[in-house]
Chains A and B, each alone.
Chain A
């Protein structure tokens, strides 16, 4: 199994509060991704990183920010959580840009009340 951990695994928070999710990898892969998974939509890309301090937006980036200060850590921040951000969040890593080999973390279930 690829060495990817996510923390926390479950979180309940109130609308308007900031939330930070952490993804940690031990594979030294260059590319890291944050996805959200919602019923009927499949996984959708929020943000991704192609190196330390190098990040870019994905399909559903509004309301989210990311940071990557070390190769192994990729943080996803909800500056002011809303109920529409209730979802399961997955981190993924890839050694190459081509995404022909992508591995996923265990997921974080976030509930915004």
Chain B
């Protein structure tokens, strides 16, 4: 069975600080996909990134970066120079190949204070 753990329930930082959100996953499948979603106060889920299990290259998109490490079953998300608009719940998720079952972490609530 698949499982996603986001151990950090809430994080609070001051604007311009860097912050890393942790995601640890469990699966026995060799082909799988990892996702990060942003859930702002309005409630919708906004897709941020998808990685497949065969691509361990780190990804950078502006102030956002992702570190995928199969050796530790982790897919961590770093926001550099955080801004107040980054305040949201961030959700990590896992799906496996040829399976409709996507598993979600409980989310990490990030608060960025001015």
- List residues of A whose CB falls within 8 A of some B CB: 31, 33, 35, 39-45, 48, 50, 56, 58-59, 88, 90, 97-107, 109
Chain B 71-114 interface mask (CB, 8 Å, partner A; 1/0): 00000000000000000000101010111111111110000000
Q: How far is the CA of A6 from the CA of B44 in the complex (A)?
A: 11
Chain B residues with Cβ under 8 A from A106's Cβ? 42-44
The answer for the CA separation of A97 and B33 in the assembled complex, in Å, is 12
B104 — which chain A residues lie within 8 A by C-beta?
35, 42-44
Known A40-B106, A98-B33, A98-B95: A103·B101 in contact at CB below 8 Å: no
**B46 → A minimal CB distance (Å):** 8
Nearest neighbor of A38 in chain B, beta-carbon distance: B106
- Taking A97-B99, A105-B44 as known contacts, 4 extra A-B pairs with beta carbons closer than 8 A to each other, sorted by chain A number, are A42-B103, A90-B45, A99-B95, A100-B95
Interface size of B by Cβ–Cβ distance < 8 Å? 26
Rounded to whole Å, the gap between the CB of B101 and the closest CB of chain A is 7
Q: How far is the CA of A99 from the CA of B101 in the complex (A)?
A: 8
B9 nearest CB neighbor, chain A only: A40
CB neighbours (8 Å) of B4 from chain A are 42
B residues engaging A (CB < 8 A)? Answer: 4, 6, 33, 35, 37, 42-45, 47, 50, 52, 91, 93, 95, 97-107
Contact A107 B106, CB 8 Å, known A58-B101, A99-B100: no
Q: What are the residues of chain B within 8 A of A58 when measuring CB–CB? A: 101
Which residues from chain B contact A39 at a C-beta distance below 8 Å? 106
Closest A residue to B103 by CB, please name it: A42
Contact among B35, B95, B106 with A42 in the assembled complex (CB-CB below 8 Å): B106
B45 in contact with A101 (CB, 8 Å): no
Q: How distant is the Cα of A109 from the Cα of B50 in the complex, in angstroms? A: 27
Residues of A within 8 A of B107 (CB): 42
